[in-house]
Amino acid sequence: MAHKITLIPGDGIGPEVTQATVRILEATGLKFEWETFAAGAEAFEKYKEYIPKELTESIERTRVGLKGPVTTPIGGGFSSINVELRKRFELFANFRPIRNLPHIPTRYSDVDLIIVRENTEGLYSGIEHEVVPGVVESLKIITEKASTRISRFAFEYARKNKRKKIHCIHKANIMKMSDGLFLRCSRNVSKEYPEITYGEHIVDNTCMQLVMNPYQYDILLLENLYGDIVSDLCAGLVGGLGLVPGANFGHECAIFEAVHGSAPDIAGKNIANPTALLRSALLMLRHIGEADAAWKIRSAIDHVYRDRSKLTRDVGGSAGTAEFADAIIQAMELPNSVAAQKV
């Protein structure tokens, strides 16, 4: 039976990395029925809606999305489609595993961090207004419900996956009420998980600590804005934005997307690295119960990164997006034992 997946290629490098990822997914032999939709500026041109009704209905039906990045205009224009999708489907948990790939030179090897970011509120509530000319107010919304929900997600994940530590990252010394509430909720939830060590760090110090010694952390639990910023910092620890995957989980559905954006500086040149979206697709495969196919692709990724001859420019190679995808597909055809030996 084919898996029905809502596919949002996005814009900028989105269509390139999505096409590469879809080709690799189909080469596993699994059957997919893609329901493909534009979002953002491209959708507006066609449907006069930034998130077409058909896209919303598709996600309600399939409950699983694979999404490329969508550009958000800076300092004006329409609100972020990414933020809107997360809010619309209550995709409250943004999950981002940060791990090295073989043979990518980085300051630290064997980094293994998980970022759990609250995805629906904080400063991303998008409530801004001009109080008087020259004075603008932007509201940071923190609720007990959402803070408890994301804390529970982090602790449940830690328990199920035998992770040892969770740090709640905050700025409650300055934002005493909003970050104070977030902190209190995560502290309360932590009491139900005595086997998991719980710590609290202020966000600016956390950035310095991550750069100096990322091994001291295991799972980072953050509200929306800090999660966004710290994710990019962590991507830098393991080789850059071209590598780091992500998933947005809700109770009803999930959308899988890379940490990176639409990278307009390299769009349309066939040089973007599709690894981040591909690794997001591996999270998707596990979510839909296709762990074997995920493992097959994972072995092929390790093989191609060890071999180094077909890597994209951002990680020191010269291959194009499509050529990298071809190399992954070829590596998937190797007998399992050969791929595994080389992992």
Task: Quote the least distance from Cβ 67 to ligand NAI, whole Å.
Answer: 7
Instruction: Name which of residues 36 to 65 contact ligand NAI (CB under 6 A).
Output: none
* Position of minimal CB gap to ligand NAI: 261
Q: Does 241 interact with ligand NAI (rule: CB under 6 A)? A: yes
- Of 21, 82, 94, 206, the one binding ligand NAI (CB under 6 A) is 82
Q: Does 69 interact with ligand NAI (rule: CB under 6 A)? A: yes
- Find, among 115, 82, 334, the residue nearest to 227 by Cα: 115
- Of 9, 242, 245, 317, the one binding ligand NAI (CB under 6 A) is 242
CB 340 within 8 A of CB 36: no
Residue 163, C-beta contacts closer than 8 angstroms, at least 6 positions apart = 114, 157, 196, 218, 219
> Rounded distance, CA 128 to CA 33, Å?
40
Instruction: Give the E-state strand segments of the chain in sequence order.
Output: 3-8, 32-36, 64-67, 93-99, 112-118, 128-132, 135-138, 165-170, 197-202, 219-222, 247-249, 254-257
Q: Does 94 interact with ligand NAI (rule: CB under 6 A)? A: no
Backbone angles phi, psi at 316, to 5 degrees: 90, 10
Q: Does 266 interact with ligand NAI (rule: CB under 6 A)? A: yes
Task: Quote the least distance from Cβ 183 to ligand NAI, whole Å.
Answer: 26
- Of 28, 186, 273, 299, the one binding ligand NAI (CB under 6 A) is 273
Q: Does 262 interact with ligand NAI (rule: CB under 6 A)? A: yes
- Mark the segment that binds ligand NAI (CB under 6 A) among 67-75, 141-149, 184-192, 323-331: 67-75
- Find, among 11, 4, 95, the residue nearest to 57 by Cα: 4
- Chain residues binding ligand NAI by CB under 6 A are 13, 17, 69-72, 82, 241-242, 257, 260-266, 272-273, 276, 314
